[in-house]
Structure 1
Amino acid sequence: MYKDLVETINKIVSVQNINEERKAILQPLIDFIQHKVNNGQEINLNFICTHNSRRSHLSQIWAQTGANYFNIPNVHCYSGGTEETALFPKVAETLTNQGFNIFKISNESNPIYTIKIGDNTLPVIGFSKKYDSPFNPSSDFAAIMTCSQADSGCPFIAGAEKRIPITFDDPKISDSTPEQAQVYAERSLQIASEMFYVFSMIKK
């Protein structure tokens, strides 16, 4: 892993301040992953938000990083929205500041990014897409709803083995304010901390 990313992770791991209410919210995801590990099955996680632009990407990337950090095999993290927009540039900037290597490989209105945790690791491919995009799994996955809008607006996710609401406050509320960088950094670290807690609880 990149040195700056290791430093960010060390801070996350050393300050596990997740309260009991959030731990209860995260438990169904822990149970889903543990069941798959116990049965030697692939673990497909699709993080879903309305626009697939902020929280779902942060969740996807930190969950994949957490699986790698705790050496949980066969974990494949995806993200999607109820509509397609674009990965918000501040998300890429925030993750870069926290140690990821992010490279934009296309420049259209919905650009495609590669997000890497180390020089010799496979990248996460980041771009906005609907949750049922052919890029994402069509069956045998957990649908993790990262915003209340998507959770209430999508009562049925075709192909999902389990639906798990784990919602986060939208950092978008800080856009065009002096607090934007701080709010995005804090939301990213909150999501990172919770995803790392999830994978730290998995028994191999």
Structure 2
Amino acid sequence: MNLSLLFPELQQAIQKFPELSPTIYQPNIMREQSVKTLRSAILHPAEKDKPLKLNFICTHNSRRSQIAQIWATVAAACYGKDELTAYSGGTEATALHPNVVHALQEIGFRVEQDGDHNPKYSIYFSEQYPPLICWSKVYDDPANLTDSFIAVMVCAEADVGCPFIPSARKRIPLRYKDPKYTDGTPDESATYVRTALEIGAEIFSFFQE
């Protein structure tokens, strides 16, 4: 793993991943199977000569799916998985939530906003890589290159409501607790940062043998 390509603040955050205990998901046998399946797909892809595409899906594509996409992109860079591309989408499009943007900045990402209604955000994590462009969209948006991808369902609503994802060659449930329950409370900032870090810690673990 090469963390040196990242901004120093991100390096420090990732180095503390092992200290985190999960609070946004409940470990159980079914989830362990999902983790095993996704890790195997990343480390030992069935089609080694083809790109590996992960599409993280939740209802609004405003919080958890975007966070997962961003961390998967960072992890792929750190582990030299150039064949992996991460996407995200929802069953409907809304906007990337401002609390997510603030949490990413707090962790060490550099963020630039373009527009006001469902703005596009340039998410920078390295001087050596271009920014990831994030905005809310449906999972089958043309920007997601919707063929032969692995659908990773990160919320219960989308997991239950979308039992079949067209063009997905594999569908993996990987639910995270939605941080929106703290919106408008004194705990929202800390909860969003914690959620982003915990998702990052688990995503990074998928890239480790």
TM-score after normalising by structure 2: 0.90
Paired residue for 1:101, among 110, 116, 131? Answer: 110
Residues 72-105 of structure 1 show CA distances to partners (whole Å, capped at 9, x for unaligned) of 221100000000000001101101110111111x
Residues 150-180 of structure 1 show CA distances to partners (whole Å, capped at 9, x for unaligned) of 0011111111010000000000000001100
Partner of 1:130: 138
- Counterpart-to-counterpart distance in 1, 2:20 and 2:193: 16
Paired residue for 1:190, among 162, 185, 198? Answer: 198
- Counterpart-to-counterpart distance in 2, 1:186 and 1:25: 22
Amino acid corresponding to residue 74 of structure 1 in structure 2:
E
> Are 2:179 and 1:171 equivalent residues in the alignment?
yes
Q: How many residues in Structure 1 have an aligned counterpart in Structure 2?
A: 199
* Correspondence list, 1:55-134, <5 A: 55-104=64-113, 106-134=114-142
Identity in percent: 39
Residues 101-150 of structure 1 show CA distances to partners (whole Å, capped at 9, x for unaligned) of 1111x223100001111123121111000000000021111000000000
Deviation at 1:37, TM superposition (A): 7.2
Q: Is the CA contact (8 Å cut-off) linking 1:101 and 1:118 kept in structure 2?
A: no
Structure 1 residues 38, 10: closer, same or farther in 2, change over 3 A? farther
Deviation at 1:38, TM superposition (A): 6.9
Partner of 1:146: 154
Q: Is the CA contact (8 Å cut-off) linking 2:20 and 2:198 kept in structure 1?
A: no
- Counterpart-to-counterpart distance in 2, 1:40 and 1:182: 42
Deviation at 1:26, TM superposition (A): 1.0
Amino acid corresponding to residue 15 of structure 1 in structure 2:
E
Amino acid corresponding to residue 66 of structure 2 in structure 1:
H
TM-score after normalising by structure 1: 0.92
Tell me how large the CA RMSD over aligned residues is: 1.7
SS for the counterpart of 1:103 is strand
- Counterpart-to-counterpart distance in 2, 1:154 and 1:76: 22
